[in-house]
A and B are shown apart, each in its own frame.
Chain A
Amino acid sequence: MGQLSLSGVTKNFGPVEVIKGVDLGVADGEFCVFVGPSGCGKSTLLRMIAGLEDVTGGTVALDGRDITDVPPARREIAMVFQSYALYPHLTVRDNMGLALKQAGRPRAEIRAATERAAAMLLLDALLDRRPAELSGGQRQRVAIGRAIVRRPKLFLFDEPLSNLDAALRVQTRIEIAKLHRELGATMVYVTHDQIEAMTLADKIVVLRAGQVEQIGAPMELYNDPDNTFVAGFIGSPQMNFLKSGALGLSSHSAGIRPEELRLGDIPGAISGTVSHVERLGGETLVYVHTEDHGLLTARLFGEHNRAVGSELGITFDPARLFHFDQAGRRLR
């Protein structure tokens, strides 16, 4: 119940092609995250799945049923928006029950569904308030509740955490993950934040300029990126890219994760000077300026004292390098 498949989906705004042929399957119960920089088309793609944006070419199917031209309300989907999008004139109860009311369901059923969802999200006490009387976190919970009440085959989330402050974002992220486990429903989630993508997803779809760069489980993308874009986008701090020529390698460039760099005495494989240090307690990020490779980031665990301006040598295990060709494609 809730298997989504996109085949050859394209979208044009006038002469501009914003989605350039996306093929994707999301299995029943899977948590799929679209991630990419702003303007990559991830929100447009989500809105096309929702039916809020017309599909120029290709088909969208849910459980084998072609829903490309079905209006949003009849797609058996529910969507949670970044700006919550609660109806300002309705109470929390009515906000959550509206879709069922529109579908002409009996009042007792609507009441039961609303109260069950409210209990799941700890909204019981707020049912008779209006959106204006709620905090940001509560509003987002109501928006999620409104989606749950409909028992959709597919949940769509459009950057639902972007308007929340950092602490609340972590808390709501955990709540969404818990919800996914409890409901076992298929979810498609859009974010530009790769940490959200890594922590929530069963499957990540990395998009750039309307094209899928790579699809895979979070650790697959982290440990086995297809190209420099995915390698650079997934993982924080970003992967370091080294010029292969300066290292005597045959590839065009070589990537290495910040945690794989070891800092030692001169001379290492690469030498440089410390340009900035960030101490986060659990880890220390050392930014090293190097002659050949520009600024490199090293991630050390625990607390370290490195004076800015001091010279050091960097070593690494060559087996941990990712090799890329001129076009940024991975050489395996």
Chain B
Amino acid sequence: MSQTRHSPGRAIAAHAVLIVWTLIALFPVFVTVVNSFKSKKAIFTQPLALPGPESFDLVGYRTVANQGDFVAYFQNSLVVTCLSLFCVLLFGAMAAFALSEYRFRGNTLMGLYLALGIMIPIRLGTVAILQMMVATGLVNTLTALVLVYTAQGLPLAVFILSEFMRSVSDDLKNAGRIDGLSEYRIFFRLVLPLVRPAMATVAVFTMIPIWNDLWFPLILAPSESTKTITLGSQVFLGQFVSNWNAVLAALSLAILPVLVLYLIFSRQLIRGITAGAVK
């Protein structure tokens, strides 16, 4: 190993930068989790202190468990996120496959049209979406959220996946055609496994905004039975008084599922980011 590529000074500098960045990124999470285990007084007097024997208090978690139906909120969030993710990945990959694989009139235009959504925030259409949901009777259903999030996630998914699908060898797909595989089998059995890292990347970028979204649940599905966890946590944030213990406890709990999903995808994600960098 040469000195130029592995000087200790550089390594220390690089790690210092990474550590500082990690601290900044983790700080809000740290404060949230730590304070969720403290009494209200301790939160305000020493917000950065770790919970000690005196300040330790599970009142926040007790409130969350007793008040409101948090298990149901969790369930709603999970259902909405997983279903939306599934739809985005499936339809996004299918559209990307069609765009990258078949030559047809208007192919480029169609690709641009599908990618347009990346540049135009879906929230601009909130009023129209609400009218549409009212007209179809989908207000206060999880279906409404799944549909909206699928629409929101598709443009980026199509954009990223079609680039990756172009890189899948034509010979492989043609070999499948000669061996008598249907286009669906070629898509599901040959192409999808090869773009798995890209799928994981899309999954992470799609999942997090959906899980964290407050806007659409508030507007489209605010009823008790369809509340998501982000919306559910808002009951503790009043105009004049906020139950910070409960808010922090609810948020700490909300981190867990998304963390689990991220861990599932992250191995693939890292492979996606470094795809082609290492042979």
Interface residues of A (CB under 8 A from B): 47, 50-52, 71-74, 77-79, 81-89, 98-99, 102-103, 146, 158
Interface residues of B (CB under 8 A from A): 169, 171-172, 174-181, 189-190, 193-194
Determine if A85 and B193 form an interchain contact, defined as CB atoms under 8 angstroms apart: no
- Name B175's closest neighbour in chain A (CB-CB): A85
Bound-state CA distance A52–B175 (Å) is 10
Contacts of A85 in B (CB 8 A): 169, 171-172, 174-175
Determine if A79 and B190 form an interchain contact, defined as CB atoms under 8 angstroms apart: no
Contacts of A102 in B (CB 8 A): 179-181
- Name B194's closest neighbour in chain A (CB-CB): A88
Determine if B179 and A73 form an interchain contact, defined as CB atoms under 8 angstroms apart: yes
Q: A88-B193, A89-B193 are known contacts. Are A52 and B169 too (CB-CB below 8 A)?
A: no
Determine if B172 and A99 form an interchain contact, defined as CB atoms under 8 angstroms apart: no
Q: Which 6 A-B pairs have the closest CB atoms?
A: A73-B180, A85-B171, A102-B180, A81-B171, A85-B175, A99-B179
Determine if B194 and A103 form an interchain contact, defined as CB atoms under 8 angstroms apart: no
21 contacts between A and B (CB under 8 A): A52-B174, A71-B177, A72-B174, A72-B178, A73-B178, A77-B178, A79-B175, A81-B175, A82-B171, A84-B171, A85-B172, A86-B175, A87-B172, A87-B175, A87-B176, A87-B189, A88-B194, A89-B189, A98-B179, A98-B181, A99-B178
Determine if B174 and A50 form an interchain contact, defined as CB atoms under 8 angstroms apart: yes
Contacts of B176 in A (CB 8 A): 87
Determine if A103 and B180 form an interchain contact, defined as CB atoms under 8 angstroms apart: yes
Residue with the highest number of chain A CB atoms closer than 10 Å, among B171, B175, B176, B180: B175
Determine if B194 and A50 form an interchain contact, defined as CB atoms under 8 angstroms apart: no
Could you say which of B169, B178, B189 contacts A79, with CB atoms under 8 Å apart?
A: B178
- Name A82's closest neighbour in chain B (CB-CB): B171
Seed contacts A85-B169, A87-B172; 13 additional CB < 8 Å A-B pairs:
A47-B174, A50-B178, A72-B178, A73-B177, A73-B178, A74-B180, A77-B178, A82-B171, A84-B171, A87-B175, A88-B194, A99-B178, A146-B175
Determine if A81 and B174 form an interchain contact, defined as CB atoms under 8 angstroms apart: yes
- Name B177's closest neighbour in chain A (CB-CB): A72
Q: A88-B193, A89-B193 are known contacts. Are A79 and B181 too (CB-CB below 8 A)?
A: no
Bound-state CA distance A4–B180 (Å) is 21
Residue with the highest number of chain A CB atoms closer than 10 Å, among B169, B179, B190, B193: B179
Contacts of B177 in A (CB 8 A): 51-52, 71-73
Contacts of A72 in B (CB 8 A): 174, 177-178
